[in-house]
A and B are shown apart, each in its own frame.
Chain A
Amino acid sequence: MARVVLKDVVKTYGSVYAVNRVSLTVEDGEFVALVGPSGCGKTTTLNLVAGLIPMTSGEVFIGDRDVTDLDPKDRDIAMVFQNYALYPNKSVFNNLAFPLQMRKLAKDEIDKKVRAAAKTLDITHLLERRPRELSGGQQQRVALGRALVRDPRAFLMDEPLSNLDAKLRVQMRTEIKRFHQDLKATIIYVTHDQLEAVTMADKMAVMNGGFLQQYDTPANVFAHPVNMFVASFIGSPAMSLIPVDATTRGDAVVLTSPEGWELPLSAQNTAKARKSSTSKIVLGARHSTVRLHHAPAAGAIPAKVYTVEPTGDITFVQVFIDGAVVNVSVPPNVVIRPDETVYVEFDQDRIHLFDAETTNALAAD
């Protein structure tokens, strides 16, 4: 296994930037999830690492080698595709054998390796079948097997689980994770599902519009999103974002709303709010850091209940503050009705403040 480095990678299609100056280092043995909404450039980035499409500018290193100008076959990587890309006219055995045949291995060695990989993935009984005779989950295993059968320097996976049903997806998630730990494999894993990224990856690279937005451990991305896009993309339900005005009152900054409520900020948050380029600020809060009161309380903001969604062990409540939807979670025994007026209290230590102009997070030095 080896580390993978992207340096200022750019890919344009006509005047469209599919990937825009992305720099990223994936350490040896690391599992990195490349996550972002559809069309943000994840597949393109992965294809650039694989060498499947010509790069507009930038460099790619695998191990210590500059592979920027190498053919995919010389980069020694394995890839799993979203639609599996199994060779339809070859049996499962020959699908797995193909990468080894291309490397001109001896017949008996190919046989041994294919059977070993098939055993790992529990698909030995399928070896003689054609891909179209397999279920989606089985095809997925074969696709993984074709990557596993040789030991490449890195694995690239492009939404490998997105065509599976929910239950199978969870199961395969565990298996891939397990397989990463056993092999100490370097993996770049593309997904549009933030939950998949958060649960599987050592680090996640959040992309949007061709740009790399944030690259950090899932915990850090979750706790310290660098901008409003990352804040709202990671976490489910999404972080609530409320546009407010910041007014200085003495030493403190007070958030004010056209609806009349005010929220004095703590000293630390005041320091953050002062960094904003204008007085327009966006207040962000995750559902678990917001408390609901039935009666007015100090520092609580009046809000109207929109929907109540019990899920069993937790109940999600959506309320309106200034026209913005705010997600709140409450224990299942709390009784709340739609259209009721409630009072929302934010945990000042765990709120996020964003510059409404630049959308970047405001940090206290």
Chain B
Amino acid sequence: MNTVTGQTRPSSVAEPVRRNLFQSMWTHRADYGYVLPAIVVMLIVIAYPVYYTIDLSFFQTPPGLQLRDKKFIGLENYRAILSSAVFWKVTGNTVMWTISSTVIAFLLGLGCALALHREFIGRGVLRAILLIPWVVSAVAASYVWKWLYHSDFGVIGAALVSFGLAERPPNFIDNINTVLPALIVVNIWREFSFAMIMLMAGLQTVPDQLLRAAQVDGASAWQRFWHVTFPHLRGVSTVTILLLAVANFNSFIIPWIMTGGGPSNASPGQVKRTQRRKPADGWRWAGRIFLAVMLVYTVVPMAWMLITSLKTGFAAMMYPPQWWPAEPTLSNYLRLLDPRDTIGQDFLHYFWNSMFVSISTTILAVVVAVPAAYAFSRFRFPGRNFLFFAVLLRNMFPAVIFLVPLFILMRWLGLVNTHGSLILTYLTFGLPLAIWLLKGFYDNIPIQLEQAARIDGATRLQAFLLVVMPLSTPGIIATAIYSFIGAWNEFIYAATFLNKNEQMTLPVGLQRFFAENTTDWPGLMAASFMMSVPVVVLFLVLQRYFVRALTEGAVKH
């Protein structure tokens, strides 16, 4: 039998299919189901507030936010704000803050990543320690640094004096010239390790062959870095810098808490990156010294927090400070954990509230992110790219501008003063990174694996659950950690949506505690420590999944 279907005979060509957008969307209608939960959550928490904010910006409202009486005034608000000197000054400060924090944090992170790239004993431990500040909440970090900077009893000031670098402890935070650098040091402390972890993941994907080829071609260590490694890191670097810049531009907690009430002082001098142009061995030494400096920078504040928490209130307020508590005591911790004491009751309450909110957020984030990421990776439905980038854009909006509209929305939904309001909001923090990360994973899993499973007798769902999901476990774990940490540390929304004491979460509780006990630094340090323990432990146990997730998932592209 001869079958000829002339590729050369146009008459046998079926009519070209022309489907319009609507038909195409209809064909893919099932695909939208996967991304629907993510989109709905995003729409509620993002789209409405954006609309609301823009809409309201054209109106004038009487004092007390009586929205019914709002008056349309067109662009008057914009004219007013753009001609206000305060606005420009604040914007200038914000730009300064954003650029210096981002650039320095990125460079320090890059330095650490390069120094940690080579295998050596204790590398894993070192990496883990350097990562701790990243998971500590901004509220706790602010209090710890505020205590370090304290103009009377701060350890930094005391150290400067005892090394003969200053006559008396300087007062950085109250000095207009030093307050911004002092705050930037704190900010960088918290976020350089994010750059480090991203870039470490990026470094792992630099092809060894290329480096060896460059070596054979006679490239020096610096040339190899500049011509091979660095270009390879461009993608990760862009994402890292973007994320840092957006976070810095929108950040608010560190300046707010640190300048609110207490005096302190700061020294940015610890973290100079030395220029090195020596041969390979010199590089290695430079790397070690650099790591040692970064280790001191990372560890000293945490150590001082611990040491202070073991002192009595009296011992903490001494000058010069007791480097080691003369009479170490656990009383600060016992008080926080004592259910008979009112402070203990409150603390335990806050603790369980934080647990509940964080765990719920984490579970929901995974449940929402996994199908969405899968659909973005596998399906080709119309609007896919648009929706994907819309999700990623979430982090571009500063939390503060959403406060009022979200509060109004939550009131309308009846969620004010419930943990539901927080869970719904926190869900959207983790989703962009989660979806991006998991999509990277699914992109890397060959579709043939699922096809094989379906041929082997699995349904679509079984193929996903039994074959694809297990392969994305690191991504799912990373997503979970990220969501948990974000929820555990969040402050602004918690402070806005909840005003009943029995519902508060730890960061808000901590801030309340401080407002009422301004001088109980050991108690505050103990509380900061207790608050950091769950996230730090969780992170230290699971951080290798995080690194793996970044390497295998997102960074690969």
Contact between B8 and A56, CB atoms less than 8 A apart: no
Contact indicator A21/B12 (Cβ below 8 Å):
yes
Contact of B458 with A216 in the complex, beta carbons under 8 Å? no
State A188–B18 Cα separation when bound (angstroms).
Answer: 32
A10 within 8 A of B: yes
| Cβ contacts under 8 Å, A146 to chain B | 452, 456
In the bound complex, do residue B7 and residue A213 qualify as a contact, i.e. CB atoms below 8 Å apart?
A: yes
Known A20-B14, A83-B446: A72·B5 in contact at CB below 8 Å: no
The closest CB in chain A to the CB of B7 belongs to A211
Which residues of the partner chain A approach B337 to less than 8 Å between Cβ atoms? Answer: none
Contact call B2/A73, Cβ cutoff below 8 A: no
User: What residue in chain A is nearest B457 (Cβ atoms)?
Assistant: A102
Instruction: Tell whether A235 is near chain B: CB-to-CB under 8 Å.
Output: no
* Interface bits A59-74 vs B (CB < 8 Å: 1, else 0): 0000000000001110
Interface residues of B in 1-31 (CB under 8 A from A): 1-9, 12-14, 16-18
A307, B204: Cα distance in complex, Å:
48
The reply to whether A72 and B7 contact each other, CB–CB distance below 8 Å, is: no
A12 CB–B CB distance under 8 Å: yes
Report A84 CB to chain B, min CB distance, Å.
Answer: 8
Query: Is B453 interfacial (CB 8 A cutoff)?
Result: yes
Main secondary structure of the interface of B (DSSP, over half): loop
Q: State the CA gap A73–B2 with chains docked (Å).
A: 33
Interface residues of A in 56-95 (CB under 8 A from B): 56-57, 71-73, 77-79, 81-83, 85, 87-89
**A15-B16, A215-B1 are known contacts. Are A208 and B7 too (CB-CB below 8 A)?**
yes
Neighbouring A residues of B6 by C-beta, 8 Å:
211, 227, 358, 360
How many angstroms from the CA of A88 to the CA of B2 in the assembled complex?
43
Q: Are B451 and A360 in contact (CB under 8 A)?
A: no
Q: Mark A7-30, 1 if CB is under 8 A from B, else 0.
A: 000101011010011111000000
Report if A21-B457 is in contact (Cβ < 8 Å); known contacts: A50-B451, A85-B449.
no
The answer for the CA separation of A15 and B16 in the assembled complex, in Å, is 6
The answer for the CA separation of A211 and B4 in the assembled complex, in Å, is 9
> Which B residues are in CB contact (< 8 Å) with A360?
4, 6, 8
Say whether B471 contacts A227, CB under 8 Å. Answer: no
Q: Identify the closest chain B residue to A78 (Cβ).
A: B455
Contact (Cβ within 8 A) A214 B4? yes
Distance between A60 CB and nearest chain B CB, rounded to angstroms: 14
Per the bound structure, the CA–CA distance linking A204 and B555 in Å amounts to 44
In the complex, B103 has a CB within 8 A of chain A: no
Known contacts being A20-B13, A358-B9, is A213 close to B4, with CB within 8 Å? yes
Q: Determine whether the beta carbon of B451 is less than 8 Å from that of A81.
A: yes
In contact, A56 and B17 (Cβ under 8 angstroms): yes
**Contact: B457 with A83, CB < 8 Å?**
no
Q: Closest Cβ of chain B: how far from A117's Cβ, in Å?
A: 13
CA distance A52 to B12 in the complex (A): 26
Q: Is A167 an interface residue (CB 8 A)?
A: no
The docked-state distance in angstroms from the alpha carbon of A209 to that of B462 is: 35
Residues of B421-473 whose CB lies within 8 A of A:
446, 448-449, 451-459, 462, 467, 470-471
Q: If the complex has contacts A50-B455, A226-B4, are A21 and B448 also in contact, measured as CB distance less than 8 A? A: no
Q: A71-B459, A99-B457 are in contact. Are A79 and B4 (CB under 8 A)?
A: no
The answer to whether A320 has its CB under 8 Å from any CB of chain B is no
Q: Is A107 positioned at the interface, with any CB of B under 8 Å from its CB?
A: no
B349 → chain A, closest Cβ, in Å? 42
User: Which one of A72, A89, A210 has the greatest number of beta carbons of chain B within 10 Å?
Assistant: A72
Closest to B3 in A: A215
Contacts of B4 in A (CB 8 A): 213-214, 226-227, 360
Q: How far is the CB of B14 from chain A (nearest CB, A)?
A: 6
Q: Could you say which of B3, B16, B452 contacts A212, with CB atoms under 8 Å apart?
A: B3
B457 touches A216 (CB 8 A): no
Task: Say whether, besides A81-B452, A87-B467, A229 and B458 are in contact (CB < 8 Å).
Answer: no
Query: B467: which A residues are within 8 A, CB to CB?
Result: 87
Taking CB atoms, residues of chain A closer than 8 Å to B455 are 50, 52, 72-73, 77-79, 99
Contact B454 A71 (CB under 8 A): yes
- Which of these, B3, B458, B471, contacts A214 with CB under 8 Å? B3
B17–A12 CB distance below 8 A: yes
A98 within 8 A of B: yes
Q: How many interface residues does chain A have, given as a range? A: 35 or more
- In the assembled complex, the Cα of A79 lies from the Cα of B458 at a distance in Å of 14
Residues of A within 8 A of B451 (CB): 47, 50, 52, 72, 79, 81, 85
B residues in contact with A20, CB < 8 Å:
5, 13-14
Q: Is the CB of A10 within 8 A of B462?
A: no
Neighbouring B residues of A23 by C-beta, 8 Å: 3
User: Chain A contacts of B454 at CB under 8 A?
Assistant: 52, 71-73
Which of B7, B455, B467: most chain A Cβ within 10 A? B455
How many chain B residues touch the partner (CB < 8 A)?
31
Whether A249 is near chain B, meaning CB under 8 Å from some CB there, is no
A229 B7 Cβ-Cβ under 8 A: yes
Q: Chain B residues with Cβ under 8 A from A224's Cβ? A: 2
Least Cβ distance of B30 to chain A in Å?
A: 11
Determine whether A125 belongs to the interface, using a CB cutoff of 8 Å to chain B: no
A209 to chain B minimum Cβ distance, whole angstroms, is 5
* Interface contact A10-B2, CB-CB below 8 Å: no
* A residues in contact with B17, CB < 8 Å: 12, 14-15, 56
Chain B min CB distance to A146 (Å)? 7
A72 to B448, CA, bound (A): 13
Contact A214/B8 with A10-B14, A15-B18 known, Cβ cut-off 8 Å:
no
Closest A residue to B19 by CB, please name it. Answer: A14
- Asked if A124 CB lies within 8 Å of chain B CBs, one says no
Bound CA–CA A229/B7 (angstroms): 9
**Alpha-carbon gap, A224 to B453, bound state (A):** 41
Q: Which residues of A contact B462 (CB under 8 A)?
A: 102
List the B residue with the shortest CB-CB distance to A13: B380
Choice from A47, A98, A103 contacting B453 with Cβ under 8 Å: A98
CA distance A50 to B454 in the complex (A): 9
Q: Is A257 an interface residue (CB 8 A)?
A: no
CA distance in complex: A52, B451 (Å): 6
Contact status A358-B8, CB under 8 Å: yes
With CB as the reference atom, state the residue of chain B lying closest to A363: B2
Q: Is the CB of B458 within 8 A of A102?
A: yes
CB <8 Å contact, A216 and B1: yes
Assess the A214–B456 pair: CB atoms within 8 A.
no
Contacting residues of chain A (179-215) with chain B, CB-CB under 8 angstroms: 208-215
Residues of chain A with a CB closer than 8 A to B458's CB: 73, 102
Q: Contact: B470 with A89, CB < 8 Å? A: yes
Q: Which of A88-126 contact B (CB under 8 A)?
A: 88-89, 98-99, 102-103
A residues in contact with B470, CB < 8 Å = 89
Q: Identify the closest chain A residue to B467 (Cβ).
A: A87
Report B-chain residues with C-beta under 8 Å of the C-beta of A22: 5
A272 CB, nearest partner CB in chain B, Å: 16
State the CA gap A146–B14 with chains docked (Å).
38
In the complex, the chain B residue whose C-beta lies closest to that of A210 is B7
The answer to whether the Cβ of A138 comes within 8 Å of any Cβ in the partner chain is: no
Q: Does A341 contact B (CB under 8 A)?
A: no
A152 → chain B closest CB, angstroms: 9
Q: Which of A209-233 contact B (CB under 8 A)?
A: 209-216, 220, 224, 226-227, 229
Q: CB of A279 within 8 A of chain B?
A: no
Chain B residue with minimal CB distance to A216?
B2
- What is the bound-complex CA distance between A12 and B453, given in angstroms? 25
What are 5 A-B residue pairs whose CB atoms fall within 8 Å in the complex?
A: A56-B17, A82-B448, A213-B4, A213-B5, A359-B8
Further 11 A-B residue pairs, CB within 8 A, beyond A24-B3, A208-B7, A359-B8? A15-B17, A87-B449, A88-B449, A102-B457, A146-B452, A211-B5, A212-B3, A214-B3, A227-B8, A229-B7, A360-B8
Interface residues of A (CB under 8 A from B): 10, 12, 14-15, 17, 20-24, 47, 50, 52, 56-57, 71-73, 77-79, 81-83, 85, 87-89, 98-99, 102-103, 146, 208-216, 220, 224, 226-227, 229, 358-360
- Tell me the B residues contacting A by CB distance below 8 Å: 1-9, 12-14, 16-18, 446, 448-449, 451-459, 462, 467, 470-471
In the A-B complex, list the 8 residue pairs whose CB atoms are closest, starting with the nearest: A102-B457, A99-B456, A85-B448, A85-B452, A72-B454, A211-B7, A215-B3, A73-B457
